[in-house]
Each structure stands twice: as structure tokens, then as C-alpha cells.
Amino acid sequence: MSVADALVDAADADGIDFDGLTVAAGDDGYQFRTPDTDAVLTAADLREHADSPYVTNWYYWEHDIGGHDTPRRAFLRWLEGGDDRPVPERYDALDSGHTRHWGELAVTVTHGDAAGSRRYDVRHADDVDADTDTLATYTDPRDARELVKHDDDDGYRPLSTAPSLPHGWAFTDLDGGALVDTIDYVYPATVANWHREREGSLDVDHWADVADRQTGIYGIVSDLDEDALEWAAEACCVDSQCLKRREWDRDEDDALDVPRGDGEFPCREPCSLFVAAARKFTTLEREDTREYTFELTPAEKEQIEDIIGAVADDRTDDIREADVYEGANRYRTRFLRAKRMDDHGLSGTPTYPEDHDDDGDDGDHH
């Protein structure tokens, strides 16, 4: 159906009231209102207004997209600021392309060939200014499934929302449905959960409930105490590790004192990767503390702290071999190991002294 036919049909039916456009049939003709126009028109004159930005915008959202109250429609309107900006301002932005970010994705909306239509481009945010000719291009959303399984170093990505998307690709010339499908393959369920949160219907499963449901080898995670749970959330559920914004806590009355993150999309429950990590943290927390005596220089103590920080922040690959002033430098670390470690451990102190008798016969701790 053409825009003109759809416009007249809608005016003759229930009328139109959408994004600043109002059209209604009356005894004297059709009342046509926009922020710039207020006129009574004949049917022929009304058809002449079919190329108005307000009309083509209405046609796109009501005929091409439809799906009122659906996550897809809400997400597509959010991308171009459909609920916040007037139509002329949005159309001006679409002329050159309007970009918003979703995790590590940059999504750009432009005008399509048909009146009022939109086309969508999605790529890694770091590649937003790259010439498309320099990127591998795709149009089938299903290609995203394999594309994002590994990072730039071909390492497997067990967590889909980890900030480790590979670079060098783009999905181009997508319609709205294909765009949302692509997003769902890259970041599963994030659009749906974002929409539920906006609508006030996000069902959050807190840690206590998730932990109580675990069985088998994971049943022990319910023993993780509150301090350790906060340490676990600090380790796993921050922006540097996961792009979701944590909405779950220990339970609905006991919030964790850990930043929730700044991501656009919420995390409604502890993920399977967190549960697996929590199992290991639980076993570690069952050990009693011991006192050890080490001989270290002040610089060596600070170096051990630097090494822990570099590993925790995933900076080891960024430390150059020649930068021996960096505590986690490989040569500095090998020098420390050569100086301070032997078969008994750090500074000659075994982890389990009771397994080492006085004659030097080393035992294995099990």
C-alpha cells in the first residue's frame, strides 16, 4: 500500500495521532496538523501531503515496523531518539547517520531508499569511523553467531557480554528486524531484558535463590558468605569484565556494596560463569588462614602487588619486554622468581610446612 493510500485509509478509520502528526476526517474534509501546519484538506490535497516527513515517519513506524509494545519497536525508536526528539531533528540526523552504542556495538541509523524507511549498520564501536571497504561485511544476522565466538586473538569467549568482541566486521544495509536479530546473536536477550526493565517488568533472580537451586558439584555455592559474594561480584560483575549492569543482589532486602556497572542493558541473575567461579571461590574460602614469613625487599613487595594488578586487569600483554621499570615486566618477574623461589616455594617457604620433614625429603600435599 502506498503512503498516500495508507494516509487516507487511516484518516477515514480512527484518524492519526503520532509523533506530532494529527489527521482526522470531518464534515468539511480532513483536519491535518503538524507543528508547522494546520489545515483542512480535501482527499486529493491530503494525498499531496504524503511526502511530509511527519507522514513518512508515521508510515514507517505504523506500517513497516508495527509491533506496538514490543522490544523490537522500543529498541529501534530508542536508537534514533524517537521518544525524545521531534521528527525534523531526527530526519536531519538520519541524513548523515545517527549512531548509538550498545555494549561494544555501534549501531548507525540512516534513511532508506523508500520514503520514511530506515536502514541500519552495526559494527564494533572501535570501527565506527572505519571505511566499510576495509571491513568484512555481512547481511545475514545468523553470521554473527560464529563471528563473535572468539576474540581478536582467536580465544574462545565463554561470556557473550564480555568486553572482548572481535574487530574488523560490519553488518550493513539491514532492516529493523534484521538489526535486532543481529543484536540478539551478539548479546542474547539484552534487548528483551532492557525492554522489560523499561516497562517495570524485569524479573530479577537474586543470588540466594539462584544458589539454593544449584545441585551436584555446584550445591556448595550457597555456603559463600556475604563478604566473599561481594568480592566475587567485584571480580566478575564490573564493566571491565561484563557489559551488563548488575541488578541482582544477595536477596531483595540485602544489596551488595559493589558498583553495578554502567551498561545500557541489565543483568537479571547471576550467570552460569559466575556460578562456576563461585564454586571455586567457595572452596578457596573454606581454607583456614596461615602465617608465612617471607624475606622481600620493599621493591619486591611492590612488584608482587604490581603482578597481581596486571593479571587482574588483563594488562600483561600491554607490558613491553624492554619496560623493566614495570613491576609485572616478564624479565623483572623472572628475575624475582630466580632470586626468591625454589622447590619449596616463595622465599624458601613451603605452602604446607608439615609436608616437609627436617631431612629435606619433599612430600606432595594432596
For residue 220, report the phi and psi dihedrals to the nearest 5 degrees: -75, -15
Q: Say if 254 falls within a structural domain.
A: yes
The answer to whether residues 131 and 51 belong to one domain is: no
Same domain, 81 and 144: yes
> What integer pLDDT is reported at residue 356 of this predicted model?
67
Number of domains composing the chain: 4
Size (the chain), residues: 366
Residue 65 to residue 345: CA distance in whole angstroms: 65
Q: Which of 198, 233, 259 is the last residue of a domain?
A: 198
Q: Tell me whether residue 363 is in a domain.
A: no
First to last CA, the chain: 75
CB atoms inside a 10 Å sphere around CB 212: 10
Instruction: Report if residue 293 sits inside a domain.
Output: no
231 and 278, same structural domain?
yes
The CATH number for 92's domain is 3.30.1360.190
Distance CA 17, CA 23 (A): 7
- Do 226 and 320 lie in a common domain? no
Residues 44 and 77 both lie in one domain = no
Question: Are 103 and 163 in a shared domain?
Answer: yes
Whether residues 38 and 101 fall in one domain: no
Question: What pLDDT band is residue 181 in, cutting at 50, 70 and 90?
Answer: very high
Do residue 193 and residue 87 come from a single domain?
Answer: yes
Does some domain include residue 364? Answer: no
pTM of the full structure: 0.86
Q: Let me know whether 241 and 182 are in one domain.
A: no
Q: Could you tell me the residue range of the domain that residue 168 belongs to?
A: 67-198
Confirm whether 222 is domain-assigned. Answer: yes
Q: How far apart are CA 116 and CA 52, in angstroms?
A: 9
261/313 same-domain check: no
* Tens digits of residue pLDDT in 289-302: 988 888 899 999 99
- What pLDDT, in 10s, does the model give residues 258-287? 999 999 999 999 999 999 999 999 999 999
Residue 219 lies in a domain: yes
- Contact (CB, 8 A) for 77 and 101: no
φ, ψ dihedrals at 354, nearest 5°: -65, -15
